Amino acid sequence: MTVNVLYFAWVRERIGLPREAVETEAATVSELVEELKTREDRYAAAFADVTALRVALDQELSDFEAPLAGVREIAFFPPMTGG
């Protein structure tokens, strides 16, 4: 399946792009992260500590063990600092 992967804040800066289409058979967010980490050092650096990251699936906050079936948009970002 093809999913849209979005990156925000320092995750975007570290990976070097705001979004990309990713072809994956990963069953969960964690599996997708492991796939991305093997791509290049910049991905490995961005995902080195996933406890410092948050994930949203189709624009709703989720977690790294969540299944990806049916998901079209996955976003990775640091903890939010609104207000």
Partner 1 sequence: MAEVRVQADSFDAGAELNRFSEAQAGAGAVVSFTGVVRDVSGGLEAMEIEHYPGMTESAIATIVDESKARWPLTGALVIHRHGRLEPGAQIMMVATASAHRVAAFEAAEFLMDYLKSRAPFWKKEVTREGTGWVAAKDEDEAALTRW
Determine if 51 is a binding residue for partner 1 (CB under 8 A): no
Judged by CB under 8 A, the stretch of 6-14, 31-39, 43-51, 62-70 that binds partner 1 is 6-14
Determine if 81 is a binding residue for partner 1 (CB under 8 A): yes
Distance CA 19, CA 12 (A): 8
Determine if 75 is a binding residue for partner 1 (CB under 8 A): yes
Q: How far is the CB of 64 from partner 1 (least distance, A)?
A: 17
Judged by CB under 8 A, the stretch of 20-28, 39-47, 63-71, 74-82 that binds partner 1 is 74-82
For 4-47, give the DSSP string: EEEE-HHHHHHHT-SEEEEE---SBHHHHHHHHHTT-HHHHHHT
Determine if 79 is a binding residue for partner 1 (CB under 8 A): yes
Distances (CA, A) of 36 to 9, 42, 59, 82: 18, 10, 20, 28
Residue from 60, 65, 69, 70 binding partner 1 (CB under 8 A): 60
